[in-house]
Amino acid sequence: RKYSKLSSTYGNDVVNEKTCRRWFSAGGFKKGDFRLKEEPRAGCPKNSILSNCKLLLMKSNLYY
């Protein structure tokens, strides 16, 4: 509901719904947290996994 009010007031390009939910649910406004990007998460980044797959394919001559 809050996202609907923001997007109707400022347009759809202002902030996405996921960021808006984080701001309200985690108390972001009360804490002064207005970041538009999420914090890094634990685990292996997607880029690393994709690079490893590409490398394996190149080594096996299946990569074109």
49 and 43 Cβ atoms separated by less than 8 Å? no
What pLDDT is attached to residue 7? Answer: 72
What pLDDT is attached to residue 28? Answer: 63
What pLDDT is attached to residue 37? Answer: 66
In terms of residues, how long is the chain? 64
Query: CA 49, CA 54: separation in Å to the nearest integer?
Result: 9
What pLDDT is attached to residue 26? Answer: 65
What pLDDT is attached to residue 47? Answer: 67
pLDDT digits (tens, 9 = 90+) for 25-64: 766 666 776 665 666 666 666 666 677 777 777 777 765 5
| Whether the predicted model's global pTM rises above the 0.85 cut | no
